[in-house]
């Protein structure tokens, strides 16, 4: 396989992962369950999917030098927190609002890396980050339930950003195992708090699709794709998640996007694309090295 075909394959894999991740809000609406029941069932399916992938990876894949240790424990805890607050945010406000907040991920991750790893922060980052948070303020809803959902969305985004920085700080960490144990942790936390009742077929299907495809296979595709493209390029492609998430619930559940949320989301997305576009050349070069996660 030539290098160009390898990179093209990586792009397709990252796009496919973004498509799957964008369905999270759709499956939460389809399940129509309380937060803890949704967390428990989704996490059970995710753990089985990622666990099976780990077994196959160990048996047929090439041995890779990776560890888990305390960095993995910390990353799993942060990932579990992010997963729970993500589902809660989708329950308590619109998908479009959650995606608007989630689009600030590159800025929050860069800010954490600046504080922890002393990474350099550019004026472009400060300008784009400021514009992005202005966009979030424009799209912020006013009801108490929406405010709670927005706070959960910020908590989720901060958790995801922290997880990214941990993975960067400890590149030898087994990220697949970390994600699998995060799903197991979510399941253990949610079990005592969930409603124990027989699910109707639609609810069971929604949880299975969320756990297996959105989380499990979506993560695996990102893992495989990110080894073939640069991190900046992967970040740009992953913005499809932000755009498509509100589209699915609009098409299937007629969940309307208010004008302030639409304007605010456009501002945030434009700021993110402008910021990430500055690393386009670097991203392409990084993609040529075929470096990745895990």
Model confidence pLDDT, tens digit, residues 181-240: 999 999 999 999 998 888 899 999 999 999 999 999 988 888 777 667 765 566 667 778
pTM listed for this prediction: 0.85
Cα 252 → chain centroid: 22
In a domain, 294, yes or no: no
Task: Give the CA count within 13 Å in the CB-facing half-sphere of 189.
Answer: 19
Query: CA-to-CA distance for 279 and 230, rounded, in angstroms?
Result: 10
- The number of distinct structural domains making up the chain is 1
Side-chain-side CA neighbours of 231 within 13 Å: the count stands at 10
Chain segment 144-160, per-residue pLDDT in tens? 678 899 999 999 999 98
Report the interhelical angle of 201-208 vs 35-60 (nearest 10°).
50
pLDDT at 231: 57
How confident is the model at residue 230, as a pLDDT? 61
Alpha-carbon distance of 269 to 87, in angstroms, equals 22
Region at 64 (left for phi over 0; alpha for psi -120 to 50; beta for the rest): beta
23 DSSP assignment: T
Is 293 domain-assigned?
Answer: no
Confirm whether 27 is domain-assigned. yes
Task: Report the distance separating Cα 294 and Cα 66, nearest Å.
Answer: 7
Does residue 208 sit within a domain?
yes
In angstroms, rounded to a whole number, what is the distance separating the alpha carbons of residues 272 and 244?
16
Instruction: Return the structure tokens found at 94.
Output: 């619109």
Is 234 in contact with 225 (CB distance < 8 Å)?
A: yes
Helices 24-31, 201-208: crossing angle, 10 deg rounding:
160
pLDDT per residue over 102-123, tens digit each?
988 888 888 888 888 887 878 8
Answer whether residue 130 is part of any domain.
yes
For residue 67, the cross-strand partners are 173
Residue 192 located in a structural domain:
yes
Q: Considering the domain boundaries, does residue 254 fall inside one?
A: yes
Domain that holds residue 223: 3-288
pLDDT in tens, 225-244: 766 776 556 666 777 888 89
In a domain, 173, yes or no: yes
């Amino acid at each position: 396989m030539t290098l160009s075909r390898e990179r093209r394959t990586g792009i397709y894999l990252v796009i496919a992962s973004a498509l799957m991740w964008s369905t999270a809000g759709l499956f939460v609406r389809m399940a129509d369950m309380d937060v803890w029941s949704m967390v428990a069932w989704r996490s059970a399916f995710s753990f089985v999917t990622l666990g099976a992938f780990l077994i196959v990876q160990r048996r047929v894949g090439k041995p890779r030098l990776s560890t888990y240790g305390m960095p993995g424990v910390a990353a799993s805890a942060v990932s579990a927190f992010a997963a729970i607050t993500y589902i809660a945010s989708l329950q308590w406000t619109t998908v479009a609002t959650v995606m608007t907040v989630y689009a600030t991920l590159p800025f929050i991750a860069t800010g954490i890396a600046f504080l922890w790893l002393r990474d350099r922060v550019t004026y472009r980052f400060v300008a784009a980050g400021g514009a992005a948070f202005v966009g979030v303020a424009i799209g912020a809803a006013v009801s108490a339930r929406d405010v709670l959902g927005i706070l959960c969305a910020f908590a989720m985004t901060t958790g995801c950003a922290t997880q990214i920085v941990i993975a960067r700080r400890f590149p030898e960490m087994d990220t697949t195992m970390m994600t699998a144990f995060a799903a197991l942790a979510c399941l253990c936390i949610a079990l005592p708090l969930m409603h124990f009742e027989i699910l109707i077929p639609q609810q069971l299907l929604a949880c299975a699709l969320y756990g297996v495809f959105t989380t499990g296979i979506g993560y695996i595709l990102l893992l495989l794709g990110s080894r073939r493209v640069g991190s900046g390029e992967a970040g740009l492609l992953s913005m499809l998640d932000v755009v498509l998430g509100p589209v699915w619930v609009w098409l299937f559940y007629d969940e309307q996007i208010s004008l302030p949320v639409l304007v605010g989301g456009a501002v945030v997305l434009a700021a993110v694309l402008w910021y990430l576009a500055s690393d386009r050349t670097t991203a392409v070069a990084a993609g040529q090295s075929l470096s990745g996660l895990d």
